[in-house]
Structure 1
Amino acid sequence: MQAPVASKHHRLDSITEIGDYYSRNKKKRFESVGGSETPDLTTSDGGEKSEEAEKARLLLLSVIETDTEVSPACLKLRSALINHVLEKDPKRLLQEAVDHCPLHVELWLGLARLEKLYDTAKEVLKKAREKLPRERALWIEEAKLEEAAANKGGNNNTKHMVGKVIKMGIMALFEQHVEFDRLGWIKDAEGAEQSGCVETCKAIIENTVGIGVKKEDRKVTWFGDAEECKNRGSIETARAIYMYALGSFGSSKKSIWLKAIQFEKAHGTRETVDELLCVAVRIPKGEVFWLMLANEKMIAGDVSEAREILKVAYSKCPDFEEIWNAAFKLEYENKELERARACLAKARNENEGGGRPERMWMKSAVVERELKNVAGERRLLDEGLGLFPWFFKLWLMLGQLEERLDRLHEARDAYKSGVKHCPNSIPIWLSLAKVEERISSSILVVTDVLKMGRKRNPKDPQLWLAGIRAEKSELVAVRLMEKALKECRGSKNSGILLAYSIEMSSTSEEWKTLVSKMKCEEEDEDPHVIAAIGNKLFSDDGNTQVDEARIWLNRAVSVAPDIGDFWAFLYKFELKHGSENNQKEVLRKCIAAQPKHGDRWQPISKAVENSHQPVEVILNKLVVALEKEEEKAAATRHNWL
């Protein structure tokens, strides 16, 4: 085998370490085989020997210790150690050791690593394989040697040279009838990575990880291998396994591409993620990868590049709805409303019934609303409702448009039409009840609307809660709550009723009794209940339990970080009782969570005047709204009393 670019006299400074096998024993003192104490690893005058000499002697001591049968060779080795205790040349020490004990692979590896010249190190490994033809560690060591030599000499063919050595090693071991140990090779790849020999690590994986794996088990097996390597901190080994899996399956397994990309996002660089995505977009049905690539550019702040990527994606996948949706989002979030308008117009004109076209009309109306084009907004809503009368959001937007124009009766008509076409849309029923409250001073009209809504949707907690809040009589509200809890038990989102029952409690004893009952029935795990308990501890008749309240409110945002109401509760609490650092930390976490939901959060975040407002602005506006809500609730309780 020819040497790489490095010359015959080239010094391989990067492979001088003896290895971990003996360095982990660096500070031990061993008892000799014969019972007397092994000589100390210092000179007679107390001075330290060179590090390499010390490592070499420690290696010899390790071999002596592991030779449990006290072979003649081991006794000779001990004699060599004693004879050379003052010897400063570790190579001479190890050379004599391999002469006495040629079947100890650790000694050969140590000697090869001490050689500074490429050719000499190769010769040592060749002699070692003659004595130990079944040892794969010797082939791996030669691969590392090739990698070090190629890197030192600037050889661009490192991968080929290293891979060639590993392939030769596997063939030689098969000829020696050595049982193939796939997991052992993976561990060797991890060892190569940890020693800095990444190309050796990759070559081992590429040539061994697929051997002995059944075709139907490949995906599960390789995913498991990569996950275990990642958990052990062997990132390059895990990456090599994913790359091998991608090469084996090609474009047939989109899930492997997704897994590999997720891995790179977590452990790679922006460049490695982009590089992988640029290949992934070429596979059949790879539309999602176009979106991911554009999103990476948006995250990096490169709007122009993201725009170009989506343009190419649209030309290749014109029927994939999420591409035009991403293009719209890109322009809308960057306040390029004219571009957003053009993007949606093209999507509406070219759509042939695939995906969810009703969303195109909805988003188009949103853009016109942003541009304050009332006529355009109304036209698009009318067109959309003519095509998709079952899409409740279009009815909601029409009603909201009329309310913004202070045309309350027209808004009521829009909502009434909405509940006729979409009787199971809770937001339309709630909007109809609110507009009736604005039109009429009679609570009976509002409660009648909510009763009709509950008749259509008997187990919906939101309609029951709205009815309870609308009641002017505490007695009626309490009875309605009892009925609501019974009717909605087990329903999705029923926690909002339990939470409000805590809010309604007038004394500490009353709400604490309720909470105890909820714990018994395992109902206290709902995030709304958790937040309600935190709020009660925060504002319990002036007896605020600060530490307990903070624990419960933090727990609420941990369980449901997407609900903005809970962040506002916690932030309001910290503004009153917390330090400036606590307030900043809550704000930071809220911004990171990017909440989108919440009965109180959404009306503020979706208001026209708050379009494009950052999370911190919405949060502060909601805190102000909560203060006003508390004042109103206090007035209601006063009326009940």
Structure 2
Amino acid sequence: MASNNPNKLAFLSMPAPASYVAGLGRGASGFTTRSDIGPAREGPSAEVIAEAQARRGEEAEVDPEQFQDPDNEYGLFAGTTYEQDDEEADRIYESVDDKMDSRRRKQRCAAEQAQLAKHRAERPKIQQQFADLKRGLSSVTDAEWENIPEVGNLTRRKRRRTEENSRTYVVPDSVLVGDRSKVEYESALDARQQADGGLETPAERGMMTDFVEIGQARDKILSLKLDQISSTPATSGLSTSIDPRGYLTSLDSVVLKSDAEIGDIKRARMLFDSLVKSNPKHAPGWIAAACLEEHAGRMVAARKMIKMGCEACPGSEDVWLEAARLHNNDDAKVVLANAVQHVGQSVKIWLAAADLEHDVQAKKRVLRKALEHIPNSVRLWKETVNLEASAADARILLARAVEVIPLSVELWLALARLETPTRAKAVLNKARKVVPTSHEFWIAAARLLEQEAALPEKDAAQREKELAVVDKTIEAATRNLRQHQVLLTREQWLKEAERCEAEGAPRTSEAIVKATIAMDIEEEDRLDTWVSDAEAVEARGMVGTARAILAHALRCYPDKRSLWRRAAELEKAHGTREALDSVLARAVACCPQAEVLWLMAAKEKWLAGDVPAAREVLERAFVANPESEQIWLAAVKLEAENGEFGVARELLIRARSVADTERIWMKSAVFERQQGQLDTALATLTTALSKFPKFAKLYMIQGQIQESKGNIPAARMAFAAGIKACPKEPTLWILAGRLEETDGKSIKARSLLEKARLVIPANERLWAEAVGVEERAGGVAQAKAVLARALQECPASGLLWSMALWAEPRAARKTKSVDALRKTKDSPLVVCTVARVLWADRVVERARDWFGRATVADADLGDVWGWWLKFERQHGNEEQREVVRTRCVAAEPHHGAIWQATAKNIKNVGKSILEILELVANELK
């Protein structure tokens, strides 16, 4: 309710209550102002204030000054008297404090000064940071002072607008179009006319915006402003360096440095300044200081700094070279001319001076002047010779060079290369006498002999005679060098042989290998060392040197079949078919009991299309090895592949009587089965089983033949007999289970596989077949459960992990792939499955790489090649598919579930690897 008292503020003139303190309730205390001095009333006393604070619950403040007055002391020492003894004690304590303070005062002061100096170095004062700029102000001219622009407004206050600092605004499009329409005149009648002949006047006139004209108008305005700025005289106080033509493109060349970079440059400048002042004879310090200024964009300061460095270190060639680099071409010539006066024996200075010359004759003059000062520099002679256009002039210079520097091997060899063969021999003989410890002259002489022997006008006999001299030359080289105490290691000689082969001298390389390959090797270590040397050299691509090493090893060990096989593989990979036939012919002559060499020789003849020659090789192999199972089977395969089935059957009959082995009996049954003679094949198997009851493959073939005839009980009996005779063969269990599946008895197949896993624990094939049985029966959940148990029992199985990857959802396959690769240690099957996962995700290039890794890990897996070819059919071109086919044929795979089933199918008998590959790629799903 509002008050009716007209004098509401009368209380302000009333006297304050006793003990009133303004703001005391809000924590304030009494105070006295200047206006209170004089007749003003006094403030509340201390007792009143203490009473008010006590009412509020506040504690009374204790004045710390009261403890300084002995009369006001209270507590333990209250009421004591300060006597003479106390004064003496205080003096003693003060002297002790002064004594303790004086100890290590110097060290403490020094540490404080060092800390202060470090602080100043890290965070210099403003005046120190701008000291170099202040010193630079002494060189500023009056004109430069006048051209310095006025300081901008940093106070954020409004300035009076003048003509110079007037604001400009972008002209709107409507203004441009309106101004354009003001000056337009319509000089033609409107084509729209009324019926009575008059003109139609529109009620509204629309406006069409032409953006092309607007852009042209803006460009015009911009060009006018640029012209105005560029034409502004310097005397008007608006100095400018704007290029109206290229000021936009010049912005790209502006290098902006951050505050941190500027600070780093300043600190580095201070350090280098201290360095060159404390040690002015240290050339790298001057170079570093100049490079810092160059990096900062101060080329003038950099040249000045390096000039001071040249004056302080005139004997350092690096300083002079840096000075030449920092100057332009003409000034650099002057710098290097001064450098020659101080370091005239520096080859680098003379070469740098020659590089500055663009004329060949000028370069020659500089280099010949350099040779007058440094006649024993090989590099200067080589540079001078390289400038000569004619071989005759170069020959004259090299002749003089070897006179001045007779111990330079490079100059002697260069001179020999420029001479004719006859004179080159004389040069090399002379060089060999001057430098008897150099092996390069002997090798050069051998290469010269090899070149002469390779001339087309010489016949074969003469060529062989001269090539024999090459071997003698290298042998004489080793003897002569040994007499002069020059002992090159075997590895060094092999490097020289590789270099000769790389430079087109294979006969010299072979001669070096013959003469030095047996050096520093014990007798019992020779064979292994030579084989490893040949493999290492072949890996580096030096086939000729590897061939020479193996040839020497075969001369020492002609009865080693492994050496002959290694030599044959080398020729098959890198040589010609004639060379391979020659090696194999010598191999079977030296090792007639080596069946593998006979088979390789026959196979190469067969692949070359020479079937009679292959038969001849096998006939000779029969004579040398009459009871060899492999040779008999090779002869049967040769005849069967060429359609001579009767001859192949006769060979098998003879083989069973001569070489009575289980494999020959098995091949006989397989041959009869392939020819459709199932009864004969079964009779053969019955006889074979009576001879070899523990050979599991006989039971497999017998059961498969009975199954193909539709006799399920007989096939079941055959597999059961095989399981009883060979319980550790997983293939028999798998075939028996598949037979039961074919007969519609999946439960019995599951039982057989469980029994097989008890007999053969931790077998991945049996577990994979069990998973397959569940999948084919339609139990997906049961298949996953069996797969989980399989992985627990076989945690490192690549086959099971590849199945587990496909059992996972698509989003989880990549994560599962990492675990699979780690658990199986990069199994080829898992790697191939990862490639298929990437293929499914459309990661084509990575999938191709993973397929390549899988084939490298195990090239014998035919299924991997089939998957790769199937992938390239979908995502590759014909060239990429051909690469897969070629590599597969070279690898000759034999294993893989789909590959073996396809290759051993009766319908595919006689087909090549390439045809099998195409069939496997079609079969894979």
TM-score where L is the length of structure 2: 0.55
Instruction: State the shift of 1:416 in Å.
Output: 1.2
Larger Rg: 2
Does the CA contact (< 8 Å) of 2:798 and 2:830 recur in 1? yes
Instruction: State the shift of 1:323 in Å.
Output: 1.7
| Aligned equivalent of 1:611, options 893, 897, 909 | 909
* Structure 2 residue aligned with 1:463: 766
Greater displacement, 463-472 / 402-411: 463-472
Does residue 141 of structure 1 match 2:141?
Answer: no
Shift in CA distance, 527/196, structure 1 to aligned 2, threshold 3 Å: closer
Shift in CA distance, 247/576, structure 1 to aligned 2, threshold 3 Å: closer
* Structure 2 residue aligned with 1:563: 861
Which runs of structure 2 are paired with 1:74-473 in the superposition (5 Å)? 88-116=392-420, 118=422, 120-152=423-455, 154=458, 155-156=462-463, 157-251=465-559, 253-284=560-591, 285-351=593-659, 357-439=661-743, 441-471=744-774, 472=777, 473=779
* Structure 1 residue aligned with 2:894: 596
CA distance in 1, matches of 2:843, 2:539: 41
CA distance in 2, matches of 1:109, 1:583: 51
Does the CA contact (< 8 Å) of 1:499 and 1:532 recur in 2? yes
Greater RCO, 1 or 2 (C-alpha within 8 Å, sep 6+): 1
Does the CA contact (< 8 Å) of 2:345 and 2:374 recur in 1? no
Partner SS, residue 281 of structure 1? helix
Instruction: State the shift of 1:458 in Å.
Output: 2.9
Shift in CA distance, 312/474, structure 1 to aligned 2, threshold 3 Å: same
Which runs of structure 2 are paired with 1:23-38 in the superposition (5 Å)? 33=345, 37=350
Does the CA contact (< 8 Å) of 2:795 and 2:823 recur in 1? no
- For structure 2, the residue ranges without an aligned partner over 5 or more in a row are 1-335
CA distance in 1, matches of 2:448, 2:847: 62
Partner SS, residue 170 of structure 1? helix
Partner SS, residue 694 of structure 2? coil
Does the CA contact (< 8 Å) of 1:190 and 1:201 recur in 2? yes
Instruction: State the shift of 1:351 in Å.
Output: 1.8
| Aligned equivalent of 2:823, options 503, 522, 536 | 522
Matching residue's letter, 1:263: L
CA distance in 2, matches of 1:592, 1:168: 45
Partner SS, residue 600 of structure 1? helix
Matching residue's letter, 2:648: A
CA distance in 1, matches of 2:834, 2:489: 57
Does residue 488 of structure 1 match 2:812?
Answer: no
Instruction: State the shift of 1:361 in Å.
Output: 0.5
Deviations 1:289-329 (A, max 9, x none): 21221122122222221121111011112233222222223
Instruction: State the shift of 1:389 in Å.
Output: 1.0
TM-score where L is the length of structure 1: 0.76
Instruction: State the shift of 1:360 in Å.
Output: 0.2
CA distance in 1, matches of 2:375, 2:836: 80
Deviations 1:211-256 (A, max 9, x none): 33322232233334434433444332232222222222332x3333
Partner SS, residue 626 of structure 2? coil
Does the CA contact (< 8 Å) of 1:125 and 1:138 recur in 2? yes
Instruction: State the shift of 1:580 in Å.
Output: 6.4
Instruction: State the shift of 1:406 in Å.
Output: 1.3
Shift in CA distance, 159/373, structure 1 to aligned 2, threshold 3 Å: same
Greater displacement, 304-313 / 430-439: 430-439
* Structure 2 residue aligned with 1:635: none
Does the CA contact (< 8 Å) of 2:572 and 2:580 recur in 1? yes
CA distance in 1, matches of 2:590, 2:910: 35
Partner SS, residue 372 of structure 1? coil
* Structure 1 residue aligned with 2:54: none
Q: Count matched residues.
A: 570
Partner SS, residue 486 of structure 2? coil
Partner SS, residue 442 of structure 2? helix
Shift in CA distance, 390/205, structure 1 to aligned 2, threshold 3 Å: same
Partner SS, residue 420 of structure 2? coil
CA distance in 2, matches of 1:616, 1:80: 59
- Backbone CA RMSD of aligned residues: 4.1
Instruction: State the shift of 1:474 in Å.
Output: 4.2
Shift in CA distance, 207/310, structure 1 to aligned 2, threshold 3 Å: same
CA distance in 1, matches of 2:866, 2:753: 28
Does the CA contact (< 8 Å) of 2:722 and 2:732 recur in 1? yes
Deviations 1:322-343 (A, max 9, x none): 2222222322333432232222
Instruction: State the shift of 1:45 in Å.
Output: 8.1
Does the CA contact (< 8 Å) of 1:537 and 1:545 recur in 2? yes
Instruction: State the shift of 1:178 in Å.
Output: 3.0
Shift in CA distance, 333/126, structure 1 to aligned 2, threshold 3 Å: same
Matching residue's letter, 1:351: A
- For structure 1, the residue ranges without an aligned partner over 5 or more in a row are 1-29, 628-641
CA distance in 1, matches of 2:384, 2:920: 78
Matching residue's letter, 2:701: M
Matching residue's letter, 2:569: Q
Deviations 1:483-533 (A, max 9, x none): 33333334xxx333333344445x4457667556546x6348344445555
Does the CA contact (< 8 Å) of 1:515 and 1:524 recur in 2? no
* Structure 2 residue aligned with 1:5: none
Shift in CA distance, 64/315, structure 1 to aligned 2, threshold 3 Å: farther
Deviations 1:38-92 (A, max 9, x none): 6969x9985999xxxx9xx9xx99x979xxxx876559x979969x979853333
CA distance in 1, matches of 2:471, 2:916: 57
Matching residue's letter, 1:525: D
CA distance in 1, matches of 2:812, 2:497: 64
* Structure 1 residue aligned with 2:77: none
Does the CA contact (< 8 Å) of 1:412 and 1:432 recur in 2? yes
CA distance in 1, matches of 2:888, 2:442: 54
CA distance in 2, matches of 1:322, 1:396: 22
Partner SS, residue 897 of structure 2? coil
CA distance in 1, matches of 2:726, 2:383: 92
CA distance in 2, matches of 1:525, 1:86: 61
Instruction: State the shift of 1:346 in Å.
Output: 1.8
Instruction: State the shift of 1:188 in Å.
Output: 3.0
Does the CA contact (< 8 Å) of 2:719 and 2:735 recur in 1? yes
CA distance in 2, matches of 1:247, 1:191: 24
* Structure 2 residue aligned with 1:479: 785
CA distance in 2, matches of 1:538, 1:80: 58
Instruction: State the shift of 1:419 in Å.
Output: 0.9
CA distance in 2, matches of 1:538, 1:600: 20
CA distance in 1, matches of 2:793, 2:638: 44
Matching residue's letter, 1:422: C
Matching residue's letter, 2:442: W
Does the CA contact (< 8 Å) of 2:702 and 2:718 recur in 1? yes
Greater displacement, 198-207 / 478-487: 478-487
Deviations 1:455-503 (A, max 9, x none): 322322333333333344445444333333333334xxx3333333444
Partner SS, residue 89 of structure 1? helix
